[in-house]
Structure 1
Amino acid sequence: MILIRSLLYLVSLLFSTVVLAGLLSIIGWLLPYRQRCQIANAWGGVNIWFLKLLCNLDYEIDGLEKIPESGAIILAKHQSAWETMALRWLLPPEQAWVLKRELMWVPFFGWAAATVQPIAINRKAGSKAARQVIDIGLERLRQHRLVVIFPEGTRVAPGERKRYGMGGALLAEKSGAPVIPIAHNAGSFWRRRDIRKYPGVIKVVVGDPIHTAGRKAAEINKEVETWIEQTMSRIQ
C-alpha cells in the first residue's frame, strides 16, 4: 500500500510541476517578482498537501516565528526532496535559493526556477562557486530577500553528516546578516533514492537567529553545524 500511495503521489507531483512550473515559465517574466515567488510557494504548498492526503505524511514545525520576512540567511539540513518543497512553502515568498546549476536545465522545474532568480552555481568550481554565492547573495540580501542554503551541499541519509561548506558562513561574515538554522528529520520518512514515502509526522525545528556581525566565517559555520547536528540527534 505504501508503494501504491507513493506512486500516486509521484503522479500528483509531476502534474503539479507541469501545470504550475509551466505557468510560471510562460508568464512569470511578465509578473512582478513577488507574484512569481507566490506561485513558486503555491507549488510547494500543493505538493505538501498531496503528501498528507495520499501518503499520510504530515509535518510539525517549532519556531516558525523566528524567521524574518527578509534579509537573513537560512542554513538547513538536507535529507530529502521534502524540504525543497516545504521550505519553499513555509518561508516568506521572496527567497533566493543556492542550487546546482544543472537543476536549471530540468524541463519545467528549471525554467520556472529561473524566474525567481536563484543563485545557480557550478559545485565543481570550488572557490569561484563560493565567490558567486557571496557576490550574488549580497545583492539578494540588499533586495530584501532570504538566501536559502543547504550547507552540506547534497542530501545526507539519517544518522550521517557531511562537511558543512563555508559559502553561507562567508556570506554571513561579509553581510552581517543573521543566520537562521533549520533542522528536520524528513529523511526518516522520504529517503533519498527511494520512491516510497512512509506515513508519520516530520519534525522541523527552527533555531534562534545567530548574530554574525563582526564574526569570522569559521566561527559562524561551527555554531550552525553544532546546533543543527545536536538538534538532529534529538529529533531523529
Structure 2
Amino acid sequence: MKKYLFQPRSCTIFIFLITTLLFSSCDTLRKTPERSTSSRGTASRGRTSPARRPSDRRPSDRRTSDRRTSDRRPISKAPARKPATTRPSTYTRPGSANTANIPQVVQIARTYTGTPYRSGGNDKQGIDCSGLICQVYSEMGVKVPRISWQQSEFGQEIGKIEEIKPGDWLFFVPEAGKEGYVSHAGIVTDVRGQDEIIFIHASTSRGVREDNLFSTYFKGRFVKAMRPF
C-alpha cells in the first residue's frame, strides 16, 4: 500500500514541475522575439528617419540658392555692357563736320609726312594707316573710328571714282584683284586728273607718304571710297 501511494504522489509532483518549466520556458521564448523585434524596429526607424529628412531638404535648399544666385548674376554683369552700347555715340556724326575744313584736314595730314610706320601707333613717333586718319581728325576735335574696317563703314560711300574729292577716305585689300578684308586706308589730298588721285597714308615700308591711287600697286587693291563728312 505504501508503495502505491508513493508512486502517484511522486508522479504528480514530477508532472507539476515539468508543466511549470514548460510554461515558463514558453513565456521566455515568446517574450524574447517580441522584445528583439520591437527593439529592432525602433532602432531601424531611429537610423533612417534622421537620414531621410536632411536628404529631402538639401536638394530644395540647393535649388533655391542656385536660383537666387542666378538671379543676381545678370544684375552684376549689366553695368559692364553699357559702355559697349554707348561707344558709337561718342563718334562725331558723319556729315556733321563743315566741308570747309577739308584743306585743314589735308594740311594736318601732311605734317605727319616721314613719320615711321608703327602698328598701333598714334603720334609722330610712329603711326599706322588707320591711326593717321584718326589722329588727323582728333587734332581738329572730331572723333572718328580707330580701326580701318570701322572707318570703311563710316560716312557715305562714293559710287564712282570720278566723284572722289580731297578729304575722302580710300580703302584697300591685301591682294590685288581679290576680295578680302580692309587692310589699308588713306586720305585723299589732291585730285589732279582722271588718272591721278593723290592720297596720304602710312606705308609699312616707307612710313607716311603720298601716292597715286592709279599706280599699279594700289589700283588693283582699291575696293571703296568713303566721304566721312
* TM tier, smaller: under 0.3
Q: Greater relative contact order (Cα 8 A, min sep 6): structure 1 or 2?
A: 1
